[in-house]
Every structure is written in C-alpha cells, then in structure tokens.
Chain A
Amino acid sequence: GENVEQHPSTLSVQEGDSAVIKCTYSDSASNYFPWYKQELGKRPQLIIDIRSNVGEKKDQRIAVTLNKTAKHFSLHITETQPEDSAVYFCAASGTNTGNQFYFGTGTSLTVIP
C-alpha cells in the first residue's frame, strides 16, 4: 500500500520568513496530493492540493510543488504570519487506492512574531 513520510515534524520560523514542508510517497500510481492545516482543537482544513498532471500550484502565499519522478511534493509558505502556526498534514491518494487518503505524520509549524 501507499506510504507517506513527512519532514520535519516540527518547524519554527521568524515572522516574514519562508517555511517548507516536504513529503515523499511510495506508490507511483497516486495522483492527488492535498495539504491540510489543523489549528489546535480544530478540524483539518484543506488549504491547497495538486494533481499529478501539474508540477506546481500557487494560492497567494502558499504553493505546492510535485516531482513525480522522485515521488515527493512540498508545501511552501512565504511571508509567514503568526496565524500560519498550526499542524500541517500532507496526503497522497489515487483511484488505485479507492481515493482513500494516506496521511503524513504532520508538521507542527510555529511562526515567531
């Protein structure tokens, strides 16, 4: 089955700096890669996703890149703000796995004002 690894597990950055979180996956048939943000005590919320037919996607300060050959994808947050502090989860999915998500173990991001 699919195996998703996520690094780092914790990340601290100064406000205004960039943050990068990386994930690798094992199943080359996976074709959908969402990122979720979970604030303390709240539900995971989808912030951006990418499908395997594109290499990069941006939404304001957030971007995701995908390297299908190397089977890894990354979340980039620029100009970080204190409200970006949360746990971020990556996931991999595909029709080969019935569209179920395989989640990474999460990255706790702290943005220091």
Chain B
Amino acid sequence: DAGVIQSPRHEVTEMGQEVTLRCKPISGHNSLFWYRQTMMRGLELLIYFNNNVPIDDSGMPEDRFSAKMPNASFSTLKIQPSEPRDSAVYFCASSLTGALEQYFGPGTRLTVT
C-alpha cells in the first residue's frame, strides 16, 4: 500500500497567490482529515470528511481556506489569497471510519513570502 500521498511536498509562493494542496487517501479509507502544524500552535485540525462529505470545518481559520473532496480518492485544500502567516506544514490523514487509527501523509511544507 502506498499510504497517504500528498503533493506538492514543498511549496514556496508569494503573498496573495493561490495555493492548492492535494491529498490521496489510503484506498478504502472513508475518512479524511486536513491538519496544519506550526511550532506555535502544534497540530491543528482544519477540516475532516466522512464519505466525501465535510463533517466539521470549524478549524478552518478563515474564508481564505477552502477544502473539497470530489471523490473517495482525492481531496484539495486551497488557500486564496495566501499570507505569510499561512506558512506551515499541512498534513493530510485518512482512516477507516470505525477503526479510528489515522494514518498521516508526508505533509506539504508551505512557505509564503
């Protein structure tokens, strides 16, 4: 199994640009989670999906952030427009609902200058 796949692994962009992060969950998993990790705030849950449906997006910091899951094998997290304070590592994780164990992808390190 390839595990959770994220792309890109690194992204450097200028303030004001649109950023799109991508995630492919483990095949067969039906829950998907987006996290942001910074030194100051630790691991924060941004949003999660069950069966492609957003369940809780209360962690999304503001309207500049949006996430979609058009099918069971793909999700995106978009930031538009990006700001320097969005610089962080963004992780995607997936799980089999009911099994509870979450498996993390390698993360995308985002730097906004």
Q: Does B55 contact A (CB under 8 A)?
A: yes
Contact B103 A46 (CB under 8 A): yes
Contact A106 B42 (CB under 8 A): yes
Residues of the B chain whose Cβ atoms lie less than 8 Å from the Cβ of A98: 48, 50, 55-56
Residues of the B chain whose Cβ atoms lie less than 8 Å from the Cβ of A42: 106
Residue of A nearest to B99 (CB): A99
Chain B binding surface, main DSSP class: strand
Residues of the A chain whose Cβ atoms lie less than 8 Å from the Cβ of B97: 99
Q: Does B2 contact A (CB under 8 A)?
A: no
Count of residues in B whose CB is under 8 Å from the partner chain = 21
Residue of B nearest to A33 (CB): B100
Residues of the B chain whose Cβ atoms lie less than 8 Å from the Cβ of A34: 100-102
Q: Which listed residue (B33, B101, B104, B107) contacts A49, Cβ 8 A?
A: B101
Contact A43 B100 (CB under 8 A): no
Contact A99 B101 (CB under 8 A): no
Q: Which listed residue (B43, B48, B50, B55) contacts A44, Cβ 8 A?
A: B43
23 residue pairs of the A-B complex, CB under 8 angstroms, read A34-B100, A34-B102, A36-B104, A43-B91, A43-B105, A43-B107, A44-B43, A49-B101, A98-B48, A98-B50, A98-B55, A98-B56, A99-B95, A99-B98, A100-B33, A100-B45, A100-B56, A101-B33, A101-B45, A101-B102, A103-B42, A103-B43, A105-B42
Which B residues are closer than 8 A to A by beta carbons? 31, 33, 42-43, 45, 48, 50, 55-56, 91, 95, 97-98, 100-107
